[in-house]
A and B are shown apart, each in its own frame.
Chain A
Amino acid sequence: MLEQLSWKVGGQQGEGIESTGEIFSTALNRLGYYLYGYRHFSSRIKGGHTNNKIRVGITKVSAIADDLDILVAFDQETIDVNYQELHQDGIIMADTKFKPVKPANTKAAFYAVPFTEIATELGTSLMKNMVAVGATCAIINLDVSVFLDVVEEIFGRKGEKVVQKNMEAIQQGYNYMKEKMDGQSSVLELPAADGNKRMFMIGNDAIALGALAAGVRLMPAYPITPASEIMEYLIKKLPKVGGTVIQTEDEIAAATMAIGANYGGIRSFTASAGPGLSLMMEAIGLSGMTETPLVVIDTQRGGPSTGLPTKQEQSDLMAMVYGTHGEIPKVVIAPGTAEEGFYDTIEAFNIAEEYQVPVIILSDLQLSLGKHTVDKLDYNKIDIRRGKLVTEGLPEVENKAYFKRYEVTEDGVSPRVIPGVENGIHHVTGVEHDETGKPSESPANRKAQMDKRMRKLNNLHTTFPNPIEKNVKHEEADLLLIGFNSTGGAIEEAMVRLEADGVKVNHARVRLIHPFPTDEMLPLIESAKHVAVVENNATGQLASIIKMNVGYPQKIKSVLKYDGNPFQPHHIVDSSKELI
């Protein structure tokens, strides 16, 4: 029996590959298995190879597996591109329809299964995916009845007959494969899971849910891969709390409209990817200069320019930290899991209001679109802090004196009054201004306002929850692995293997990218013989940021991957061994 299993379905985009994976994984999640999925797809609607790789475990899984147990193929390309991932006990199930050819150099078992033929006989070839799901159940010894709920949910509105047909397709796929296996039990059998109900969601769902829990009421946004799911979720949910999503004409409008809404007194944010964030940079500067709260989600994808829009990369780091012209206080947070995506999004809104700064939540395609099992999200951890927001009770003003919206204070944060409040009138401008918001070019005022803004974040790294997520077992490590966002799972698995080979490894996952938590990182780097920063980009951007803040330019090395695919544990193990 296995502790975990890796399953992949592949074919041409637009022929239901995604829904096959969706049905398979949703049913398994309901049985209490932990899942971690990653979708390989192209920037087109139909055609092109796509696959959905799903890892199933009886305990938490948080990385894409190195190898593969079962490959379900709807075209030859799926076999040719993916068979090398299969280990020797693996199984290929290929649709007889395309006359599949078994690769010469594989030890994996090969079954041609009439997926399309069985489905067609039942009424429509569309159900070939269901036949494949059933055939998989035969291998992993799973009772097909577990799919009934899921099939009813998906096809229920099309009528009872469609549900029955789909269940029949699953059953026949199961029967066919059982017969082929001729009574032998499979080595790929999965033990029963704990039966606990857990959530199964993509990172973007968790971020959107976090925004909703944080009290967002307006999301102006422009569609883009891989961020659109955030707006799509909120389009359904915001009307229930009186709010709405506005699909704007571009990302400049999205960011500036969010700024206007925050100035108006509500919580508003937007989400995009690299190209959109590039367009938003001037607006982010306005938020910083006018001290208007703003939260922006950047779901990183392959850059530059249009780059690799549907592929994994982590190359927006420098642009997010330094992107806007001039100097502003800004926060960049990098959650590493869907759970963190939820809690960090709430915290981002709190920080944006408490410090009156722009906050960028950095995600990446693997985290945003990968579908993962998520442990319960805790309502009691939802905390709403609005800082020095003033909504009433201001003393009468004389001679139309402006409210000191930009009062120079010890912590740099000034009271923020929203339009509509009596006796709070002031001016807000991106031009350098005095304490009341009136434009001022005086050198003394410039310095006072600049210092006030820049000192707001002096202590953020001490109050931010867990700026570095640490897995530190050794006082003195042979190797410190550092990463951020979705690479954490692969790094953790690499650690286990390196430890098994006698290497003492510590892991530091950076959650607060800017302002950088130097004090926390320094001792970890000092106490390690070797340091490797693992990141999905070509220039080692996080390594550069660490060198700038912490030092040790000779000691800090990079493990980089920028071919569009996520890290798998073996990449990190192999590169680490070369470094030490």
Chain B
Amino acid sequence: MATFKEFRNNVKPNWCPGCGDFSVQAAIQRAAANVGLTPENLAVISGIGCSGRISGYINSYGLHGIHGRALPIAQGVKMANKDLTVIASGGDGDGFAIGMGHTIHAMRRNIDLTYIVMDNQIYGLTKGQTSPRSAAGFKTKSTPQGSIEQTLSPMQLAVTTGATFVAQSFSTDLKDLTAIIEAGLNHKGFSLINVFSPCVTYNKVNTYDWFKENLTKLADIEGYDPSSREGAINTLMQHDDLVTGIIYQNKERPSYQQLVNGYSEEPLAHADLKMDEAAFNELLKEFM
């Protein structure tokens, strides 16, 4: 069994001191160890932005792709080798702005992987522009008069789109965050985990203190049932989405790979590629 230290590498992250992403990195490393992974059987696929650098900060296979496309890349990796554990990761701009199309379809498709979004409600790496997660009225370089667009609710969207695992957490809450990532890794299907990960440099509104004041733990809501879609939506609406914990989980729906016709039992990456001659000749005959 690997310990969480084995998922640490020798690279020093280029995040600002105090950035929420450090805790997300630590939680991924702990969760990976806790669910019994080994570094070579984990692939972390990330997008572009500050948080997108995470694939280089974990001792595992990692691919840092292009902006907004972590999910299709990650789905390709998982389809190629079902024995790998695949984590896709990136920021709120990556997953909910440029990559939103992929996020919705990955939820519908339900390929078995865990998507961790580090949500800081701002564009950090490009030095402070608005994000789809920024609140209405939020002033940034690109919205000097305050944002006039509606804030996106990825959690409500996920529940209504048919995602089978929808959770939210807060980066400082390392124990809860680790447990949620573990649950996501153990979930058979697509899991979306949105993590409030404050940007200490560009977001002076949604700070650590602000989240501490405003977040409600679902564990503290008596009788909360994560298997109810209706309950999940109502709770999200009542709390303006500011809840942490597993919001919704559907354990019944099979993953994409369980449903796909003829999908190999063995990882495809181990297949012998050469077709045999008789099979080839049969294919030719169909055109005669």
Chain A positions near chain B (C-beta within 8 angstroms): 29-30, 197-201, 205, 209, 212-215, 217-218, 220, 237-244, 246, 248-250, 252-254, 256-268, 282-283, 285-286, 290, 374, 376-377, 379, 382, 384, 386, 399-400, 402, 418-431, 437-439
Contacts and interface: CB of A to CB of B under 8 A. Distances in A.
B72 A253 contact: yes
B76 A261 contact: yes
Nearest to A419: B61
A29 B287 CA distance: 10
B80 A252 contact: no
A257 B76 contact: yes
A264 B261 CA distance: 21
B268 A266 contact: yes
B275 A382 contact: yes
A379 B280 contact: yes
A256 B268 contact: no
Given A246-B79, A419-B61, 10 more contacts: A213-B280, A214-B273, A241-B271, A257-B72, A263-B80, A382-B280, A419-B41, A419-B43, A427-B56, A428-B64
A209 B60 CA distance: 36
Nearest to B101: A249
A215 B271 contact: yes
A373 B280 CA distance: 18
A246 B73 CA distance: 13
Nearest to A399: B10
A260 B40 contact: no
5 contacts: A200-B288, A252-B69, A253-B101, A260-B76, A264-B77
Nearest to A285: B66
Contact of B61 (A205, A253, A425): A425
Contacts of B56: 427, 429, 437-439
B73 A256 contact: yes
B168 interface: no
Interface in B258-288: 260-269, 271, 273-275, 277, 280-281, 283-284, 287-288
A519 B269 CA distance: 39
A426 B80 CA distance: 18
B84 A419 contact: yes
Nearest to A244: B260
A429 B76 contact: no
Contacts of A254: 72
A379 B84 CA distance: 34
B74 interface: yes
Contacts of A215: 271, 273-275
Nearest to B273: A215
B63 A428 contact: yes
A356 to B, nearest CB: 14
B80 A199 contact: no
